[in-house]
Amino acid sequence: MQNEIAILREHLADHELRVTSQREMILETFLKMEHVTAEQLYHALAKHKPHIGLATIYRTLNLLCECGLAQQRNFGTQTHYDNISRKGHHDHMICTKCGTIIEFENCDIEELQEEVARQHDFHITTHKLELYGQCSTCHG
C-alpha cells in the first residue's frame, strides 16, 4: 500500500499536481475493494470527514487510471475500476444469473494474445477479457 501511495505521489509531482487528503483517502479505500464503482466508493467514504463529493471520486479515479494503478471495466451499466498494480493483470468471469464476478489469470492466453498481435503488427499495452455465463451455483 505504501508502494501505491508512492506511485500516486510521484505521478502528482511529475504533473505539478497536489497531494490532498481526499486523494490519498480515495486511493486507500480503492485498494481495499475489488472492481469497484464510483458510487460504491462514494458510499464507502460517506462517513469520512471532510465529506468527499462524487465529482472528486471520479476525478481521482481518472488520476489512478493515468498513473497505472487502476483500469476501467464496463461490466454492466456502470464503470468498474480495477486495481491492476498489486495483483497484476487479471481477467473476469461474470455470471449473468447472479452477478458473481470471478477473477482469474492465465499466462497461456496472454501469450497467444501477443502472438495474434504480432501477426497484425500491433503493440498491446493492455487488454480486457470477460467470460459471460453461469457460475457453479447457477447452472445446477
Partner DNA sequence: CTTTCTGCAAAAGCTTTGCATTACA
Partner DNA sequence: TGTAATGCAAAGCTTTTGCAGAAAG
Judged by CB under 8 A, which stretch of 14-22, 31-39, 52-60, 131-139 contacts its own copies? 131-139
CA angle (12, 18, 21) in 5-degree steps: 110
- Please check whether residue 129 is in contact with residue 71, taking contact to mean a CB–CB distance below 8 angstroms: no
Nearest alpha-carbon partner for 103 in 140, 64, 77, 71:
71
| Sole binder of its own copies in the list 19, 33, 98, 116 (CB under 8 A) | 116
Question: Site map for DNA, 19-58, x if CB under 7 A?
Answer: xxxxx-------------xxx----------xxxxxxx-x
Of positions 59, 86, 87, 127, contacts its own copies by CB under 8 A: 127
